[in-house]
Amino acid sequence: MQHTRSKRIRLGAKLGALSLSALLLSGAAAQITHAQDSNTMSKEASSSVQHIHVNGQQQYQTMDGFGASGAWSIDHIGSEWSEKNKKKIADLLFSQDKGIGLSIWRFNIGAGSTETDQDIISDPWRRAESFKSSATAPYDWSKQAGQQWFLKAAKQRGVSKTVAFVNSPPVWMTKNGHGQPDDSVGSTNLKADQIDNYAVFLADVLEHFDKQKLGFDYISPINEPTWDWNKSGQEGNRYNMQDIKQVLSALHKELERRGLHTEVDAIEAVEYLSLLDNDLYAEFTGKPGSQYTSGNAGGKYEGKYSEYIRELLGDPATAAMIGNKISAHAYWSDQPNAGDDRLVQLRKLVHENLERYTPSAAFWMSEYCILGDRGPGRDLSMNTALDVARVIHFDMVETQASAWQWWLAVSKEDYKDGLIYTDYKNPGDPESIIESKLLWTMGNYSRFVRPGAERIELDGANDPNGLMGSAYYHNKDRQLSMVFVNYGNEARTIQLDIDQLPGGKDVKQLKPYLTSDTSDLKAMPSIPVKKTVTIPARSVMTLVGHN
């Protein structure tokens, strides 16, 4: 989780989008726009045609879906806004007809900083309520009402996977009584005698939502354990490796004791570098013998804060507790820098590291927005949308992530951290809904690459500064989806060669969906698969066909 802190600002989303009214163009204006887009698609981009080969027999990861987080802002929106505008946001996020069809939704279980941390977390939109205010207090299930409204809305609109995630244990379980640590608490703010009670608290929350038919598929008890989080402007907590394994063991035992089938999602590592074995980290940095300490807690507090793949998946007992899956955040991994290629080389090393221990392990990219010098300032344009689309592409084809999840679904900040923005801050303010191009660009993946689809081989488009492409086949729906990201300033014309799809039948027609400066996931006329297709400059296009 992230956000504005002195050292690490975490709010990002390259957004650019038109309002809902832009989707409802009618009459002559709509016909003109449609004709312009069609002409752009059919126009030859250059003298050369880029040949793309799709092989359905070469299969990679099975997709779990695409998602976003309902942390913080969603509690205010869900509690304070009109039903009309809440439904509009829910449709934009979850509907496969009116929006981008997210298939994963993240629910933040708060620590109670709303009551205890006003002096530390100055922004009330960054605090969180807790379902239980003290060790002896009864549960109050009316808390976090806004998030609960959107959890129901997500389920109603077909979201297939939900994740409950925690930034800090409840404040009454922490050493300093706050939702974030300080230097005095050592390796973690969670009291040693509260580890079992923390597991009980989480299991109680899961059981309650199960009874409401709003059960969670995954529980993530730890977030970014490598960050020190000292007096940060949000809830957070650090954990060394021993702390982590104690929490995971206690939670696993409690879930088994109750017969709860919610899977544990871990470890929500702060960045990819923290995952790597020391030798692979040294290979990436070019510094023999170097070890990861960049997360701010490693080397400062006792214990280990690195090598998460080795420690979690390389330990059979721990790997079994977390379903042979590891999750991490992709922060600071979005730049194809010479000599520090985080965009491609780092992702290759992460995948190599996973294969070192268990080729069958799944990897989730569970949180990302744009940080650092490029983070400040909303950008609703294709510039940020394409930067993020490039990250998604390489997480699909190099890291081989089976899930990809954005940070804030809705943001009020002047930062690149939201899919949707609002200028609403207090009751009585206009309930503004500001779409971004990033929202619709993510929809090029989330609406058409559905859970259960398998990524299949696509050769001929993997240029981080030009055309990138990936392909997915959903056996149940007999649907082929190919997502092309044209990062370049010139249109690219492609010729597709598709063979060996399951079922033994060929795709005859493809339906394009375009996101560009002038289009928001716009359905275009179907085209024969044998014809060339032109991907406009600075755009994202999904081609969908059935066999």
Tokens describing residue 246:
């104690």
Neighbours of 83 (CB within 10 A): 8
Rounded CA gap, 455 and 474, in Å? 9
With the CA atoms of 456, 461, 464 and 466 taken in that order, what torsion angle do they form, in degrees rounded to the nearest 10?
-150
Three-class SS of residue 202?
Answer: helix
Q: Pick from 485, 498, 472: which is nearest to 62 by CA?
A: 472
Which neighbouring-strand residues pair with 15? 380
Give yes or no for a contact between 398 and 404, defined as CB atoms under 8 angstroms apart.
no
How far are the Cα atoms of 129, 317, 385, 456, 495 from residue 392, in angstroms, in the given order? 32, 31, 10, 16, 23
Report residue 38's pLDDT band, with 50, 70 and 90 as the boundaries: very low
DSSP 306-371: --HIIIIISSHHHHHHTTTEEEEE-TT---EETTEETTTHHHHHHHHHHHHH-TT-EEEEEE----
| C-alpha of 488 from chain center | 25
- Asked if residue 335 has pLDDT above 90, the reply is no
For the stretch 230-281, pLDDT in tens is: 999 999 999 999 999 999 999 999 999 999 999 999 999 999 999 999 999 9
| C-alpha of 454 from chain center | 18
Interhelix angle 437-446/382-394, nearest 10 degrees: 30
Report residue 338's pLDDT band, with 50, 70 and 90 as the boundaries: confident
- Asked if residue 340 has pLDDT above 90, the reply is no
Give yes or no for a contact between 483 and 470, defined as CB atoms under 8 angstroms apart.
yes
With the CA atoms of 122, 125, 127 and 130 taken in that order, what torsion angle do they form, in degrees rounded to the nearest 10?
150
Q: Catalogue the E-assigned strands of 159-315.
A: 161-166, 218-220, 263-264, 267-269
Give yes or no for a contact between 171 and 116, defined as CB atoms under 8 angstroms apart.
yes
What mean pLDDT comes out for the span 328-344? 89
pLDDT at 286: 93
With the CA atoms of 286, 291, 294 and 296 taken in that order, what torsion angle do they form, in degrees rounded to the nearest 10?
-170
pLDDT at 13: 33
Report residue 504's pLDDT band, with 50, 70 and 90 as the boundaries: confident
pLDDT at 339: 77
- Asked if residue 454 has pLDDT above 90, the reply is yes
Give the contacts of 261 (CB within 8 A, at least 6 positions apart). none
Tokens describing residue 260:
């709860």
Give yes or no for a contact between 186 and 240, defined as CB atoms under 8 angstroms apart.
no
For the stretch 377-406, pLDDT in tens is: 999 999 999 999 999 999 999 999 999 999
For 303-341, b/e burial (b = at least 16 CB within 10 A) is: bbbbbbbbbbbbeeebbebbebbbbbbbbbbbeeeeeee
Report residue 424's pLDDT band, with 50, 70 and 90 as the boundaries: very high
With the CA atoms of 451, 452, 458 and 463 taken in that order, what torsion angle do they form, in degrees rounded to the nearest 10?
30
What mean pLDDT comes out for the span 45-74? 92
- Asked if residue 15 has pLDDT above 90, the reply is no
Percentage with pLDDT > 70 across the chain = 91
Segment holding 61, helix H or strand E: strand 50-62
